[in-house]
Amino acid sequence: PAPALRRRRRRGSVRARAGAGRGGGRGESPYEVLGVSPSAAPDEIKRAYRRLALKFHPDVNKEANAQEKFLRIKHAYNTLMNSESRSKYASGNTDSSRTYGKSRAPSADEEEQFYGFGD
C-alpha cells in the first residue's frame, strides 16, 4: 500500500496531558505534563519525553500551537532531569511560575521560560 501524504499526524491520548493552552500549562506539574508518576525513574521520564516529542515536536506535528506544546514538554523534561530543580519541585514549591523565573545564569540544562509574546 502506498503511504499517504498527511499534513497532520495522528494524535494520541497524550494530547490532553500536554495541555491545550498556555494558561492551562502554568498550573500543571511537570509530572502531569509528561504523564509520569512523581516517583518515576529518569529512564521513564526520558521515555515519556521521547514519546511526546514524536507527537508534538513541530517537525512532525503541523498544528499551529505545536511549538508551544513542545516547549512545555521540553520544559517539564528539563525540570525533572535536573536533580536540583526536581528536588526543589518535590520539596513542595508548587508555585511553578515563581520557580521557573528565578534561576541563575543560564545553562543549557535549565528550563525555558514562558512569556505572553512570541507566538
Partner 1 sequence: MLRERLRTVGVRAACSLASSGILPARLFFTVVLLFLKLLTHTALRLPQHRLRLRSQQSPQSGLGESRFLGHLLRTVEQACRMTEQLYTVASDSETTGEDKSQMSFPDVAIGIDIGTSNCSVAVWTGHQVELLKNTRNQKGMRSYVMFKDDTLSAGVTGGATQEHGHEERDILSGSAIFNMKRLIGRMDTDEVVQASKNLPFLVQTLGIGVRPFIAALVNNMWRSTTPEEVLAIFLLELKALVEMHLKHPVRNAVLTIPVAFSRFQQTRIERACAMAGLHVLRLMPEPTSIALLYAQQQQQLLHDNMGSGIEKIALIFNMGAGYCDAAVTATAGGVSQIRALSGSTVGGEDILQNVMHHLLPDFDSLYAGQTMDRIKSIGLLRMATQDVIHKLATQEHVEINVDLGGGHKVSKILGRGEFEKVNQAIFEKCEGIIKQCLADAKLTPEDINDVILVGGCSKIPKIRSVVLGLCKKDDSYGGIDPLEAAVSGAALEGAIASGVTDPSGSLDLLTIQATPMNLGIRADGGNFAAIIPRNTAVPARRDMMFTTTHDNQTEALIAVYEGEGKQAEENHLLGYFKITDITAAAKGTVEINVCMDIDATNVLRVFAGVVKPQGQAIPPFIEVRMPTLDDGHGWCGQALAKMFGSTLDLAAVPKKLHP
Binding site for partner 1 (CB under 8 A): 1-10, 43, 46-47, 50-51, 53-54, 57-60, 62, 66-67, 70-71, 74, 88, 102-108, 112-115, 117-118
Closer to partner 1 by Cβ: residue 9 or 15: 9
Closer to partner 1 by Cβ: residue 24 or 62: 62
DSSP per-residue string spanning 48-81: HHHHHHHHHSTTT--STTHHHHHHHHHHHHHHHH
- Indicate the Cα dihedral angle 84, 87, 91, 93, nearest 10°: 60
Least spacing, CB of residue 111 vs partner 1, in Å? 9
Q: How many residues does the chain have?
A: 119
Least spacing, CB of residue 81 vs partner 1, in Å? 11
- CB–CB of 57/66 below 8 Å? yes
Closer to partner 1 by Cβ: residue 37 or 105: 105
Residues 6+ apart with CB under 8 A from 43: none
Least spacing, CB of residue 118 vs partner 1, in Å? 5
Closer to partner 1 by Cβ: residue 31 or 70: 70
Least spacing, CB of residue 100 vs partner 1, in Å? 11
Residues 6+ apart with CB under 8 A from 50: none
